[in-house]
Structure 1
Amino acid sequence: MVNNNILSQRYVTDSINDIFSEEGKTLMERRIWLTVLKSQFELGLGGITKEIINKYESNLNVIDLKRIGEIETITKHDVKAKIQAFNESAQISGNEEQIHRGMTSRDLTDNVEQYQILCASKIIMGKKTSLLNKLLDLADKYEKTYIVARTHHQPAQLTTFGKRISFIAEELLYHIKKFDFFIEQYPLRGIKGPVGTQVDMLNLLGSDKKVYDLEKMVAHELGFEQVLDSVGQIYPRSLDFDLVSNLVGLSSASENFTNTIRLMAGYNLLTEGFKPGQVGSAAMPHKQNTRTSERVDGFSNTLKGYLTMASIQSGNQWEEGDVSCSVARRVFIADAFYAIDGQLESTLNIVNNLGIFPEVIKNEISDWLPFLASTLFLTYLTETGFGREEAHLLIKEISVQEALYVRDGKKNNLINSLAENSKIKGAGIKLFDLYSLINLKDDMIGTTYSQIERVREKSMPMIKKYGSDYNSRDIL
């Protein structure tokens, strides 16, 4: 019995699964062979005809994985098996067998893995910019929904739910820009031969220029802007570390967002969505768990594990290359994309189904509002003649005492206690003056509205480049 990949089966969309499936990888390998063959033909290599190219091209999708496996049990070499299977499906033999000329296995395998990485990265970017746009829409929607801001999970000041979402969006934007740079600068290994000297392709084509032109033609066809000039048998595995590091960065905004959702749901301030028929607990019928938010956190932890694997491979190759990295790379490259894709689907589902409970939010603000205005009181006292540290100590002592009263179940009476203090009275400050500081909540949230707008403005170039129309499927 063979167990399939649980991430791929349970969480991943078809677009990513197609790239990393065995059939999808074989198709990409054949595209590389065909691209090299066409380039060699265009550069004048003998033995290649349009008829041969057409035979290969018309059978590109005729993939028999069972047959490939049968051949590999004999050859004990996966690339040789795939060459033979492609020739068989194209009904090619003898001197018509033209694929893989001047190439070594790594000319195929390294380049196809990079091709998979580039294709998958572009898909992820389209989903990430869609998520960014949805977060910005949420920030606009809840721009004036006042909430209690917390630091160290303790009530601090007043903010808005839109503002809270906007700093998640800006974090995501930062990593989208980084990943955009990664995609633009990500270099193809190229057709370099067994040790990187290109001697076999040079002997075939006859000139440095033709070898260089062939690489450029292949890179262009596969969508790469950059090609490495000097490698050994493999491309530097530090590039894999860079990839997974970027994916971890991209995942951080979702993790921060859903951690906040979990905490707010614990106070019954919102819900990530709870669909008809969904069960929160087998034992406790009332429960509506934030299980999708928790899954997002789990995907982040998984990605960080793959980052550790990638870091071990970085800088760990001998001379022109070896296969010590093979086992780990077979796991973490595909699975890192599975994890980020699954996390994206989960986050998008939360964003689409998120709901707040306004009355509960208002009650929480009411409970904490005088404390949330402590910095306003501090500023006001300094403007009326108090020294900053003197005012801070005075407000702190009264606030701590009032907090103890509140924890004993008594009413929050901070403003009255401040107004009745002899020093504050002596400065001519009245109860009305202190209450006036908290009457207009917009005065308590600073530059919140302009911050939200600026984040949207600087997000638009990335959204326009990669799109914003992706919507998630229904998830388990």
Structure 2
Amino acid sequence: MAERHYPHPLIDRYASSEMAAIFSPRMQALVWRDLWIALAEEERALGVEIPNDAIVAMHAAREQIDLDRIAVIERDLRHDVMAHVHHFGEVAPEARKYIHLGATSAFVGDNHGLIQHQQGLDIVRDRLLGTIEDLAAFASAQAGEPTLGYTHLQPAQPTTIGKRACLWLQDLLFDLEQIEAVRAELRFRGARGTTGTEATFLELFDGDGEKVDRLNERLAARFGFAGTYDVIGQTYPRKVDHRALAALAGIGASTARFGHDIRILQAFGEIEEPFGKHQIGSSAMPYKRNPMRSERICALARHLCTLELDASWTASVQWFERTLDDSANRRISLPEGYLSADALLILARNVSAGLVVHPAVVARRLGRALPFMVTEEILIAGVRRGGDRQDLHERVRGHALAARERLDEGAEDNDFFARIASDGAFGLGMEELHALADPHRLVGRSAHQVERFLTTRIDPLFEAADAPRPAEEVRV
């Protein structure tokens, strides 16, 4: 019964129906039939005696798919591909004897896997572009807004909110480059026989190797590939799966970094992810505004990053021309890799488009730490007024430690400048000290770096690419 089946969260809650459809049982049946139809048509065009009535029958029966019937046949035969072959023959009896002619199971299984990579990578690429576009708009709007920098999660030299956003953006740009590279290098398996020698098809074409090559060229072109892999065993190289999952895992790493940073910034009160009007943060604490979307990003990213390991193990145990211990693993790791990346980018785009900055909190937190950021400038100014650098250094150290101790005891304001101004050894007043600590001066070239990065690296993406697809709704 349906209510006893495990509802996969990636499909039921997180990923898009568009991505899920790529890996659905019905889509598998349709693509396998498209492959068998293409094989028969190209074989016939190259001289194999397959009657046109058989081709017509295959086309007519293409969408007559009974998944329950296929399951019954598979339980009897214990072979998924042959279950589909038998069912296709049932609904297209005129074609029964020609379906799968010369092919091995990998003809449909592996070629379909490459088509899934092709379609999945295209969706992921579009999702990346959408996320980059929205995050770039945030970075541009906040390009010059000073904020406290952190190293080791301790206060450090100020940066700007936009500059920090560009760190997240650059990671996604690396991911886009990897996804595009993997997509560009995809090739078709084609019709290569049981161990990749093409012996079966050489027999089918009476020893004419040129026809075998033409068959594979035509099949690859029909399904949108630039050609076939140079050499294979029974399957296409499993390094292809590893390259794809490594690129997807890179998206996991990038979005996790983004999610972790947003969670910390929300804890500081500086930036928040979007929060719905009727959204509930906690069942017990009604006041809470938990960063649940960023938390989900981190959770899903952790799962996606582990799937690269699946693919590396699978690629490493391919025993000569092939072994079947990759099959069950790939049924799980490949769909979950694409579904996870899809879900992550839907969430990341949603968060990026709805980030809320609280300038007063940003300024207050920066203000508490800012006086400590200009101790070197204070020393230089004191020396210029005739002071001894080593004496001034000891005085700065004492005043800084006292001010820090006062803050640790609960003081709201940092009185470090007041202590320096009252120490005649420095000869500096409060106005001069505050001028030294102007945050817009201390952020260096941050705003320029943001503008340059967006102009030279991000804007060209959207001049050359089609417009990203509309943002997908976050369902829960």
TM value normalised by structure 1: 0.91
Indicate how the Cα distance of structure 1 residues 380 and 36 shifts in structure 2: closer, same or farther if over 3 A, else same: farther
Are the equivalent residues in 2 in contact too, given 1:48–1:98 (CA < 8 A)?
no
* CA deviation string 1:246-273 (max 9, x = no partner): 1111222221111111111112223212
* CA deviation string 1:173-216 (max 9, x = no partner): 01111111111012332321111100111111242222112212
- Please tell me the residue identity of whatever aligns with 2:406: Y
Are the equivalent residues in 2 in contact too, given 1:346–1:475 (CA < 8 A)?
no
- Please tell me the residue identity of whatever aligns with 1:68: I
* CA deviation string 1:261-305 (max 9, x = no partner): 111111222321221322111111111111111000001111122
CA–CA distance in 2 between the matches of 1:158 and 1:338?
A: 38
CA–CA distance in 1 between the matches of 2:43 and 2:75?
A: 31
Indicate how the Cα distance of structure 1 residues 139 and 374 shifts in structure 2: closer, same or farther if over 3 A, else same: farther
Indicate how the Cα distance of structure 1 residues 431 and 289 shifts in structure 2: closer, same or farther if over 3 A, else same: closer
- Please tell me the residue identity of whatever aligns with 1:103: A
Identity among equivalent pairs (%): 26
CA–CA distance in 2 between the matches of 1:466 and 1:37?
A: 36
Q: 2:433 is matched with which residue?
A: 434
Mapped pair 1:117 → 2:120:
no
Indicate how the Cα distance of structure 1 residues 368 and 335 shifts in structure 2: closer, same or farther if over 3 A, else same: same
Mapped pair 1:66 → 2:77:
no
| Displacement of 1:39 | 2.1
CA–CA distance in 2 between the matches of 1:460 and 1:222?
A: 32
Indicate how the Cα distance of structure 1 residues 363 and 8 shifts in structure 2: closer, same or farther if over 3 A, else same: same
- Please tell me the residue identity of whatever aligns with 1:191: A
Q: 1:169 is matched with which residue?
A: 169
Q: 5 Å matches for 1:188-337?
A: 188-206=188-206, 207-337=208-338
Q: 1:454 is matched with which residue?
A: 452
Are the equivalent residues in 2 in contact too, given 1:261–1:270 (CA < 8 A)?
yes
- Please tell me the residue identity of whatever aligns with 1:247: L
Are the equivalent residues in 2 in contact too, given 1:125–1:466 (CA < 8 A)?
no
Q: 2:19 aligns with which of 16, 35, 39?
A: 16
* CA deviation string 1:375-418 (max 9, x = no partner): 65467678889999998777555433321222223441223434
Are the equivalent residues in 2 in contact too, given 1:126–1:470 (CA < 8 A)?
no
- Residue 158 of structure 1: SS of its match in structure 2? strand
- Residue 318 of structure 1: SS of its match in structure 2? coil
- Residue 134 of structure 2: SS of its match in structure 1? helix
Are the equivalent residues in 1 in contact too, given 2:273–2:291 (CA < 8 A)?
yes
Structure 2 unpaired stretches of 5+: none
Are the equivalent residues in 2 in contact too, given 1:194–1:233 (CA < 8 A)?
yes
Q: Which moved more, 1:137-146 or 1:408-417?
A: 408-417
Are the equivalent residues in 1 in contact too, given 2:252–2:341 (CA < 8 A)?
yes
| Displacement of 1:421 | 5.2
| Displacement of 1:423 | 5.8
CA–CA distance in 1 between the matches of 2:421 and 2:303?
A: 54
Indicate how the Cα distance of structure 1 residues 307 and 387 shifts in structure 2: closer, same or farther if over 3 A, else same: farther
CA–CA distance in 1 between the matches of 2:390 and 2:121?
A: 53
- Residue 148 of structure 1: SS of its match in structure 2? strand
Q: 1:90 is matched with which residue?
A: 92
- Residue 403 of structure 1: SS of its match in structure 2? helix
- Residue 149 of structure 2: SS of its match in structure 1? strand
CA–CA distance in 2 between the matches of 1:340 and 1:258?
A: 14
Indicate how the Cα distance of structure 1 residues 392 and 131 shifts in structure 2: closer, same or farther if over 3 A, else same: farther
* CA deviation string 1:37-71 (max 9, x = no partner): 2222332322242x433332233222211121122
Indicate how the Cα distance of structure 1 residues 322 and 383 shifts in structure 2: closer, same or farther if over 3 A, else same: farther
Structure 1 unpaired stretches of 5+: none
CA–CA distance in 2 between the matches of 1:211 and 1:155?
A: 66
Are the equivalent residues in 2 in contact too, given 1:127–1:470 (CA < 8 A)?
no
Q: 5 Å matches for 1:308-387?
A: 308-374=309-375, 376-377=377-378
- Residue 224 of structure 1: SS of its match in structure 2? coil
Indicate how the Cα distance of structure 1 residues 5 and 389 shifts in structure 2: closer, same or farther if over 3 A, else same: farther
Indicate how the Cα distance of structure 1 residues 205 and 376 shifts in structure 2: closer, same or farther if over 3 A, else same: farther
Q: CA RMSD in A?
A: 2.6
- Residue 113 of structure 1: SS of its match in structure 2? helix
Q: Which moved more, 1:83-92 or 1:211-220?
A: 83-92
- Residue 177 of structure 2: SS of its match in structure 1? helix
Q: 1:159 is matched with which residue?
A: 159
Q: Which moved more, 1:125-134 or 1:66-75?
A: 66-75
| Displacement of 1:230 | 1.3
Q: 1:417 is matched with which residue?
A: 419
- Residue 32 of structure 1: SS of its match in structure 2? helix
TM value normalised by structure 2: 0.91
Q: 1:6 is matched with which residue?
A: 9
